[in-house]
Amino acid sequence: MDDDGGNGPGSGGQPAIRVRELRKTFRVAEREAGLRASVRSLIKRAHRDVDAVAGVSFDVAPGEVVGFLGANGAGKTTTLKMLSGLLHPSSGEIAVLGHTPARREREFLRRITLVMGNRNQLQWDIPALDSFEMNRAVYRIPEAEFRRNRDELVELLEIGDLVRKPVRNLSLGERMKAETAAALLHRPQVLFLDEPTIGLDVTAQKRIRAFLAEYNRRTGASILLTSHYMADVQALCNRVVVIDAGQVLYDGGLRALTTRFSAHQTITVGLPEGGADLSGYGEVLESTPDGRTSLRVPKTQAGAVAARLLADHQVSDLTIEDPPIEDVIEQVFADRSAVGAR
């Protein structure tokens, strides 16, 4: 496994989450189009097996924040539902804080939470504060502890003026912050977050990220995060697990992912004279009127190209950067045959 120094399975101690050869197979009905096929299916229906998760293995250490990445249909949400006990695995082993999730034991449920960005848990027609009170009763949180946790979450998420409004009157970003507070009132030690910032504006996304980082710092909770926003992953995670077609393609450090799967770097150079043709140094990605040009060059040649630019031109500014993490993830999928199932 590649790693770049984050808390990982090899960091010692019992993992908060342990997954071994996890599989989930769904039996799906098949039917051809047309009236004849409809009648035939009433007598004998054809089925096929679909592997949503096909032998996934990984660990998450106590206090670790791990990005769980993959395209739509890769098996991310199915895995989170098995880890939280909503689905029974077809085979394999799962342990979360020493519990078997499918048993749905009360102590297990008190120690975890699942936040899904496209699902509601707050009651629509009443203020969020009233839903918080219902959660207190469900989780049997002592009154003093509940008030302390509630007030801390309200302060961290900056929703003091919002929790008294009916949920239906809140914007999506405001509602998502209230949903997050409701999910954390019982101080879970493991957070399963499925697209927690989906549909939010940039400001709301930043606030949710900052809150999750602070919650992790204060409580030492482990977090497994899925997101299509790479800014979420870069802000919160040192390590990522990338899956495709229900299998793990990569498990390791975020920086190591860039090093391993990115064959190019971007050189941005500023020239006081402007207007120079730099196509002979690499692929021109962008050229601006103020004399700044971005070039895509092979990583192995980046140093030499930068040296040539400095020797050939009067350079006012020059930077060398790795590509955006989105491009790197795309390269992981493109190189699947070379990576293999890990």
What confidence score (pLDDT) does residue 183 get?
Answer: 93
What confidence score (pLDDT) does residue 231 get?
Answer: 87
What confidence score (pLDDT) does residue 42 get?
Answer: 67
* Bridge partners of residue 56, in order along the sequence: 22
Cα separation of 53 and 44, whole Å?
A: 28
Domains of the chain, residue spans = 9-258, 263-321
| CA 35, 37, 38, 43 torsion-angle sign | positive
Name the amino acid, one letter, at 298: P
The strand ranges marked E within the chain are 17-30, 46-60, 65-69, 91-96, 112-116, 190-194, 222-226, 239-244, 247-253, 264-270, 283-287, 292-298, 317-321
Closest residue by Cα to residue 227 from 212, 247, 217: 212
263-321 topology per CATH: Alpha-Beta Plaits (3.30.70)
> What tens-digit pLDDT sequence spans the chain (342 residues)?
444 433 343 344 799 999 999 999 988 777 666 677 666 666 777 778 888 899 999 999 999 999 999 888 889 999 999 999 999 999 999 999 999 999 999 999 999 999 987 777 889 999 999 999 999 999 999 999 999 999 999 998 889 989 999 999 998 888 888 999 999 999 999 999 998 888 788 888 888 899 999 999 999 999 999 988 888 998 999 999 999 888 898 999 988 887 777 788 899 999 887 768 899 999 999 888 888 899 999 988 999 999 999 999 989 899 998 877 777 777 777 766 444 434
9-258 topology per CATH: Rossmann fold (3.40.50)
Strands 112-116 and 190-194: parallel
What confidence score (pLDDT) does residue 39 get?
Answer: 67
pTM of the model as a whole: 0.78
User: In the chain, what is the greatest distance between 2 CA atoms, to the nearest angstrom?
Assistant: 80
Cα separation of 84 and 316, whole Å?
A: 54
What confidence score (pLDDT) does residue 255 get?
Answer: 82
Strands 65-69 and 239-244: parallel
What confidence score (pLDDT) does residue 111 get?
Answer: 95
